[in-house]
Structures are given as structure tokens and as C-alpha cells.
Amino acid sequence: MTRIIVDTGPLVAYFNRRDRWHRWVADQMAALNPPLLTCEPVITEACFLIQRAGGKPADLIRKITQRSLEIGIDLEEDASGIESLMQRYADTPMSLADACLVRLTERFSDCRLFTLDSDFEHYRRNGRQVIPLLHPV
């Protein structure tokens, strides 16, 4: 089963009908099998951006309660791998959320990363592997 790992952008667009990607993201979400995987830094970013856009961050947290969204990484357990990624991509610079997502793709080999962020076209998992993406063309 292909696991879907979700980034901040799709979560924000899903909860903000005025977002330019809302319709595309909503269509993708309707076709995906939950739970989607993510990390706590993504949840933090998304809650901030949802609230800033006038939305309700609790609606996103409810997705975790409903088990349609799952935290798939423990920062303490994966700190070494995350640190290595952040050092490797220091020139980008790679955010903590992005590093956690790349690390998740390393842990789940059969996955796709659901994102609106073009940085993931440049990041590599396990050294040189392209990360399979679900993103608008």
C-alpha cells in the first residue's frame, strides 16, 4: 500500500477555500485513503497559517483525533537522520518540517509526498533517490 505523506501546503489549502490550490487539493484528498502521515512541525506550521488566514486550527487537529491524519515520526528517535538532512541541505536552507518529511519518505519506501513545495523536487532520500511526489504540475 502506498502511504501518502502530507506537507503543510496541502493542509492549509484544504482548510482555506480562498487558497489558489484549494480545489485541486480537495480533489486529491477525496481520492486518497487515510490515514495520511505527517509530522508535528508540519502541524505547527499549518495551524499557524490556517489561523492567519482566518480559519480554525482545531479543524486540522480534529483530523488527528479522527485518525485520518497520523504523526509518523518521532523527532527524538530520528534526530540524527534529521540533523544530517538539514546539514546536507543547509544551502537551501531545509526547514525542520521539510527534513522530517524527507526522513518519513526514507522510513516508508512505498510512499508519495503530497506537497505544493518545489523544494522537494531537489531533495533526495537515502542519499540519491528521487522522492515520489503528488503535486500540481
pTM for the whole thing? 0.96
**What is the tally of structural domains in the chain?**
1
CATH number of the domain residue 37 falls in: 3.40.50.1010
- The boundaries of the domain holding residue 123 are 3-134
CA 8-115-67 angle, to 5 degrees, is 60
What is the structure's pLDDT at 97?
98
Q: Is 95 helix (H, G, I), strand (E, B) or coil?
A: coil
| Segments in the chain forming alpha helices (H) | 8-15, 22-31, 40-52, 57-65, 79-88, 96-107
> What percent of the chain lies above the pLDDT cut of 70?
100
What is the structure's pLDDT at 93?
87
What is the structure's pLDDT at 116?
98
What is the structure's pLDDT at 39?
98
- Which segments of the chain have a pLDDT < 50? none
